[in-house]
């Protein structure tokens, strides 16, 4: 059975006091309202992690994640955050390869391969993001493009390692734009990602990997997307900044 995961990516939003208030509200509402098979992950700004961790201690199904991580273990990398640091503040997840980081910080597939491997070695669960631009989709090259991202960043892993990775398919044209992929478009890509995983790692591993959809998922479109057989949850940006909207998405399962 694959895990159902609704992860919130707060990006560079919320001061500390605002972030703590949001985390507390999520925990309070989640307790009573989120279906028992669904896990929530809050990926907060790194500077908030340790204090949000204290709030999440009392919650069984709300977990903590970082938004990025260095491929280096430690050393002279000013401003970067290591896997050990993320672990040490109580986070268990890390988003890797978000399209905003690929675009603004020029993260490459090879660099992300090193980060995924290091995260796994350190006991963190990577939420590995992939997805195509509008131009790539319009050229009909989206399946091949995403496959290449998977191949170059994930396919050196062992089958056991791969089974611990969470994938987030996030078409860039749907992120923060209000334009969501249709449920058919999402299912087509998720199915193709799972088929690609099956070809490389076998059916069993492919069946274990949770593949989340990300891109303008909101309370009013979540149910249809989450009903698709290969959509195992969501990575939520804008709608994760309001506790009610975030929980409403999780309740759509
Ligand atoms: C994201 O940035 O991962 C994302 C899915 O953002 P939004 O939900 O705002 O489109």
Residues 179-193: tens digit of each pLDDT: 899 999 999 999 999
Distance (angstroms) between ligand 1 centre and the Cα of 165 equals: 19
Q: Is the pTM of this model over 0.95?
A: yes
Whole-angstrom Cα distance, residue 116 to residue 124? 9
Residue showing tokens 């955050």 = 81
Task: Using the mean position of ligand 1's atoms as its centre, give its distance from the Cα of residue 247 in Å.
Answer: 15
Alpha carbon distance 41, 225 (integer Å): 19
Q: Is the pLDDT of residue 1 over 90?
A: no
> Quick one: pLDDT at residue 58?
87
167 three-state secondary structure: strand
Determine the Cα–Cα distance for residues 247 and 252; give it in Å rounded to an integer.
9
Mean pLDDT taken over the chain:
97
Mean pLDDT (whole number) for 72-76: 98
Residue 135's pLDDT band (cuts 50, 70, 90): very high
Is the model's pLDDT at 44 over the cut of 90? yes
**Among protein residues, the one whose CA lies closest to atom 1 of ligand 1:** 237
Residue 149 structure tokens: 């991202």
236 lines ligand 1 (CB under 6 A): yes
Give the pLDDT score at 184.
97
Residue with tokens 């491929």: 71
What is the band of 246 on the pLDDT scale with cuts at 50, 70, 90? Answer: very high
Mean pLDDT of 119-143: 97
Protein residue whose Cα sits closest to atom 6 of ligand 1: 237
Q: Pick the atom of ligand 1 nearest to 98's CA.
A: 3
On whether the CB atoms of residues 239 and 217 are closer than 8 A, the answer is yes
The residue annotated as part of the active site, out of 48, 98, 142, 190, is 98
pLDDT at residue 99 in the model: 98
pLDDT for residue 145:
98
- Residue 253, pLDDT > 90, answer no
Q: What average pLDDT does the segment 10-17 reach?
A: 98
Percent of the residues in the chain that have a pLDDT greater than 70, as a whole number: 100
Strands (E), the chain: 4-9, 38-43, 62-66, 93-96, 125-130, 166-169, 211-214, 233-236
Our answer on whether the CB atom of 111 is closer than 6 Å to any ligand 1 atom is no
C-alpha–C-alpha distance, residues 217 and 148, integer Å: 25
């Amino acid at each position: 059975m694959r895990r159902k995961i609704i992860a919130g990516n707060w990006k560079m939003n919320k001061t500390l006091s605002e972030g703590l208030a949001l985390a507390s509200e999520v925990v309070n509402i989640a307790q009573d309202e989120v279906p028992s098979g669904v896990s929530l992950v809050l990926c907060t700004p790194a500077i908030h992690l340790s204090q949000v961790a204290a709030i999440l201690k009392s919650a069984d199904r709300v977990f903590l994640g970082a938004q990025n991580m260095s491929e280096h273990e430690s050393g002279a990398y000013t401003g970067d955050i290591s896997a050990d640091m993320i672990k040490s503040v109580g986070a268990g997840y890390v988003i890797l390869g978000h399209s905003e980081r690929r675009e603004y910080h020029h993260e490459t597939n090879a660099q992300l391969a090193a980060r995924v491997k290091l995260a796994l070695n350190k006991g963190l669960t990577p939420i590995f993001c992939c997805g195509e631009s509008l131009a790539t989709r319009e050229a009909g090259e989206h399946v091949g493009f995403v496959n290449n991202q998977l191949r170059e960043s994930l396919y050196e892993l062992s089958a056991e390692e791969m089974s611990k990775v969470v994938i987030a398919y996030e078409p860039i044209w749907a992120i923060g734009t209000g334009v969501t992929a249709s449920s058919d478009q999402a299912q087509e890509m998720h199915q193709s990602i799972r088929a690609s995983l099956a070809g490389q790692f076998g059916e069993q591993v492919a069946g274990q990997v949770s593949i989340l959809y990300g891109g303008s998922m909101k309370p009013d479109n979540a149910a249809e997307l989450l009903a698709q057989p290969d959509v195992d949850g969501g990575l939520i940006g804008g709608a994760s900044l309001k506790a009610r909207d975030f929980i409403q998405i999780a309740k759509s399962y």
